Amino acid sequence: MNPLAEPNKWERLLWPMLASALLLVLWHYAVLWSGTKVLPSPLQVERGMLELLYKNVLWQDIGSSLRRVAIGFGAATALGIPLGLILGWYPAANQIVNPVMQILRPISPIAWIPVAIILFGVGDNAAVFLIFLGAFFPIVVACVNGVSNVPLFYRRAGRNFGLMPAQLLTRVVFPAALPQIIIGLRMALGIAWLVVVAAEMVAVDSGLGYLVIDARNSGKRYDLVVAAMITIGVVGLALDSGFRRLEAIKSIRWGFGK
Amino acid sequence: MSRKKKVLLFGIGWVALISVLHGYLNVNWAAVLNDSLAPARRKITVAYIPVTCQLTCPVTDYISKFSDSGEIFLPRMFQGFPEIKEALISNKVQAAFIVAPLAIALVAQGVPIKVVYLGHRYGSAVVVRKDGPVSTIADLRGRTIAIPSRFSDERLLVFRAMKIWGIKPGEVKMVEMAPPDVSGALAAGAIDGFSMGEPFPSQAEMAGYGKVLFQAREYWPDYMSCILVVRQDLIDSRPDIVQLLVDGIARSGLWLDRGKPHREAAADFVGRYYFHQEPALLRWALTNPMDRVVYSPLAPRKGDFDMVRDLMIETGVLNKKIEFTEYTDTRFSDGAAIQAPWRYEAGIARAR
């Protein structure tokens, strides 16, 4: 295998499909061979998924999860980017805030669940709050790093052209930091999708996380549990590949050496 | 000493330390020892959760340790019904105390288990916030209450009360919660009420933020919720062990109903060694009044189960009319009918 080889277009589709098919076959025979009566085979899971589709719950749950992520992630972006830009712009301010942020950042949003329920009750707001927490810190940190990594001569050049500080921030520093910010946003979106599933397991009665718990509670229906898990994976993949499209935009692409 | 040696020594020391700690803190040696025995001599594992509906399980274990024949089974505590269900399906436990509708639903879904005995009668209550907006059952309209499982008698109990008060099924929102979580959720205002087995109603009552809206028996004469199920393969291969288990549970039930001193002793040792709850809380739940929970007679009765099954079909959690004989095996309760209460008094380390 040549590490620099560019796969053909048809190969880029074929091999992943083949790998997934192989995994399904392995799974199928593992279920047959072990004789398990609990874990479902791929066919049972497919039937479970169809059942969820017919009952019209699958699209609703996907919709609820996406809505929560959109609100929580949107709020984290709207607050996190300006804050990150400011902290990156004024290193002195960053030195003051940074220790607190580094303490809050490693606390898993799951650990916030009891506090979130007390603050927001059982429902959408608690889940959205948890997603916000999960996405906020990676975005801020990515922005701070992005801004402080902007080469000094960009700023000097901007100032020589007579830009005011606010203009310098929006027209030089922000575009220069954008590729790194986008990476931060993409990571944050991945975290938000992890958190939404966990948050929906406790606080709400819709969404894909709820679907897992609901299937678990309905007796021996592990086909539905696995169907919900696969849906979570597929939607997560779609979100990520959708976000990667952003990296192809001209004002960002330069940061990825393309 | 060279650095390489130091690192090696530190590594070995570290592995030794965490191994010892793991063995001391995490490993259940009784279970490991039991698993090393030949299958025919192995003790069975019985699953329970910390509610008084299942009190006979720890009581039997505790008292039988003082008897000549020793302990009958290995008890194992869980925190909710989904976990018990998974352990039961995958043969990690061979017998379990679960709610009756869950047992019926699992049998209907093809899980090979049989109901052999009841855990208790009465002892569930619907609790609401003391200063909250609910003071009658009619006020439950539009409120959220917690239930242990969609397959639980606690849920059916609420439906029975709602029916009498003319509340339609969709008008009360029910959420499934692990029993140990409900008191905190009620205190925090996350739910408006809950329908649970003791001691959680007592917990909310004692702490002052909850009040009992109604006891189970007010809307369901002869109420029962938790029952003992055993895996079919155990019944087939070792019926004598199942009989021993049911006898022990029956004797504990009779012992618990012998009077207040026994209830207080049970509250003490179960709270401290099994449920990890305040003995004062269990004492409240078991003696205030004495018939808040009752532990005899506990033989499964067709009429009770038929009613549960019909309520399940009516409320949409069961889709076929499964017969009493398909999910119960009454020969063990028949066999236990001649049993007498344990002869055991607290403080005398001997039981017969």
- pLDDT tens digit sequence for A48-83: 889 888 887 888 889 999 999 999 999 999 999 999
In this structure, how many other beta carbons lie within 10 angstroms of the beta carbon of residue A43?
12
Q: State the pLDDT at residue B304.
A: 87
Q: Which residue of A has its CA nearest to B146?
A: A122
Q: Which residues pair with B228 in a beta bridge?
A: B97, B117
CB pair distance less than 8 Å for A121 and B189: yes
CB pair distance less than 8 Å for B110 and A218: no
Q: Which two tokens stand for residue A28?
A: 């199928």
Q: State the pLDDT at residue B143.
A: 87
CA distance B188 to chain A (A): 6
Mean pLDDT score, B90-107 = 89
Which pLDDT band, with edges at 50, 70 and 90, does A21 fall under? Answer: very high
Residue with tokens 């925190």: B79
CB pair distance less than 8 Å for A219 and B105: yes
The whole-chain average pLDDT of chain B stands at 87
Kindly report, residue by residue over A180-228, the tens digit of the pLDDT: 888 899 999 999 999 988 888 776 778 888 888 888 888 778 888 899 9
Q: Which residue of B has its CA nearest to A202?
A: B177
Mean pLDDT score, B166-170 = 84
The C-alpha angle B174, B210, B78, rounded to 5 degrees, equals 60
Give me the residue from A117, A217, A219 closest to B109, CB to CB: A219
The C-alpha angle B123, B128, B129, rounded to 5 degrees, equals 135
Which comes out higher in pLDDT, residue A37 or B137? B137
CA dihedral B163, B166, B171, B174 (to 10 degrees): -30
Does the pLDDT value for residue A258 go beyond 70?
Answer: no
Neighboring chain B residues of A219 at a CB cutoff of 8 Å = 85, 102, 105-106, 109, 151
Neighboring chain A residues of B109 at a CB cutoff of 8 Å = 219-221
d(CA A119, CA A121): 6
At residue B344, what are phi and psi to the nearest 5 degrees?
A: -150, 130
Query: Contact B172/B145 with Cβ under 8 angstroms?
Result: yes
CA distance A5 to chain B (A): 42
Neighboring chain A residues of B105 at a CB cutoff of 8 Å = 219
Give me the residue from A117, A205, A216 closest to B188, CB to CB: A117
Neighboring chain B residues of A121 at a CB cutoff of 8 Å = 189-190
Q: State the pLDDT at residue A23.
A: 92
Which pLDDT band, with edges at 50, 70 and 90, does A252 fall under? Answer: low
Mean pLDDT score, B135-143 = 85
Q: Could you tell me how many residues make up chain A? A: 258
B111 touches chain A (CB under 8 A): yes
Q: Which two tokens stand for residue B288?
A: 């205030």
Which pLDDT band, with edges at 50, 70 and 90, does A22 fall under? Answer: very high
CB pair distance less than 8 Å for A122 and B144: yes
Q: State the pLDDT at residue A114.
A: 78
CA distance A217 to chain B (A): 6
Picking from B84, B98, B109 by the largest number of A CB atoms within 10 A of its own CB, the best residue to mutate is: B109
CB pair distance less than 8 Å for A117 and B175: no
Which pLDDT band, with edges at 50, 70 and 90, does B95 fall under? Answer: very high
Of A127, A108, A115, nearest in space to A207 by CA: A127
Per CATH, is A42-252 categorized as 1.10.3720.10?
yes
CA distance B83 to chain A (A): 9
Query: Contact B300/B226 with Cβ under 8 angstroms?
Result: no
Kindly report, residue by residue over B329-346, the tens digit of the pLDDT: 888 888 888 888 888 887
d(CA A176, CA A156): 13
Q: Which residue of B has its CA nearest to A206?
A: B175
Neighboring chain B residues of A118 at a CB cutoff of 8 Å = 188
Q: State the pLDDT at residue B123.
A: 83
Of A30, A56, A28, nearest in space to A42 by CA: A28
Neighboring chain B residues of A217 at a CB cutoff of 8 Å = 82, 149-150, 176
Neighboring chain A residues of B322 at a CB cutoff of 8 Å = none
Give me the residue from A121, A217, A221 closest to B149, CB to CB: A217
In this structure, how many other beta carbons lie within 10 angstroms of the beta carbon of residue B276?
11
Of A233, A218, A43, A9, nearest in space to B152 by CA: A218
d(CA B254, CA B349): 19
Q: What is the pTM of this model?
A: 0.77
Q: State the pLDDT at residue B207.
A: 85
Of B204, B206, B194, B224, nearest in space to B284 by CA: B206
Strands B45-48 and B74-77, bridge-based pairing: parallel
Which comes out higher in pLDDT, residue B188 or B218? B218
Q: Which residue of A has its CA nearest to B106?
A: A219
CB pair distance less than 8 Å for A220 and B151: no
Q: Which residue of B has its CA nearest to A221?
A: B109
Kindly report, residue by residue over B200-253, the tens digit of the pLDDT: 888 888 888 888 888 888 888 888 888 999 999 899 988 888 998 999 899 898
Q: Could you tell me how many residues make up chain B? A: 352
Share of chain B above pLDDT 90, in %: 12
Of B84, B89, B92, nearest in space to B51 by CA: B84
Q: Please measure the distance between the N-terminal and C-terminal CA atoms of chain A and give it in whole angstroms.
A: 23
Which pLDDT band, with edges at 50, 70 and 90, does A234 fall under? Answer: very high
Letter string b/e over residues B146-157, b meaning 16 or more CB atoms within 10 A of that residue's CB: bbbbbbbbbbbb
Neighboring chain A residues of B82 at a CB cutoff of 8 Å = 216-217
CA–chain centroid gap for B258, Å, is 21
Neighboring chain A residues of B185 at a CB cutoff of 8 Å = 117, 122
**Sign (positive or negative) of CA dihedral A71, B188, B76, B322:** negative
Kindly report, residue by residue over B280-323, the tens digit of the pLDDT: 888 888 888 888 888 888 888 888 889 888 888 988 888 888 88
Residues in Cβ contact with A112 at an 8 Å cutoff, skipping those fewer than 6 apart? A129, A130, A133
B185 touches chain A (CB under 8 A): yes
Give me the residue from B106, B109, B150 closest to A217, CB to CB: B150
CB pair distance less than 8 Å for A219 and B188: no
Share of chain A above pLDDT 90, in %: 28
B191 touches chain A (CB under 8 A): yes
Of B181, B206, B199, nearest in space to B191 by CA: B181
Domain ranges of chain A: 42-252
Which pLDDT band, with edges at 50, 70 and 90, does B114 fall under? Answer: very high
Give, as one character, the DSSP assignment of residue B190: S
Does the pLDDT value for residue A124 go beyond 90?
Answer: no
Neighboring chain A residues of B93 at a CB cutoff of 8 Å = none
Q: Could you write out the three-class secondary structure of chain A? A: CCCCCCCCHHHHHHHHHHHHHHHHHHHHHHHHHHCCCCCCCHHHHHHHHHHHHHCCHHHHHHHHHHHHHHHHHHHHHHHHHHHHHHHHHCHHHHHHHHHHHHHHCCCCHHHHHHHHHHHHCCCHHHHHHHHHHHHHHHHHHHHHHHHHCCCHHHHHHHHHCCCCHHHHHHHHHHHHHHHHHHHHHHHHHHHHHHHHHHHHCCCCCCCHHHHHHHHHHCCCCHHHHHHHHHHHHHHHHHHHHHHHHHCCCHHHHHHHCC
Does the pLDDT value for residue A2 go beyond 80?
Answer: no
Q: State the pLDDT at residue A254.
A: 66
CB pair distance less than 8 Å for A122 and B191: yes
Which comes out higher in pLDDT, residue B52 or B39? B52
Q: Which residues of A touch B (CB under 8 A)?
A: 37-38, 117-118, 121-122, 205, 213, 216-221
At B199, the amino acid letter reads P
CB pair distance less than 8 Å for A219 and B189: no
Q: State the pLDDT at residue A71.
A: 94
B82 touches chain A (CB under 8 A): yes
Give me the residue from B111, B150, B191 closest to A220, CB to CB: B111
d(CA A210, CA B252): 40
Q: State the pLDDT at residue A1.
A: 59
d(CA A153, CA B102): 70
Q: State the pLDDT at residue A192.
A: 92
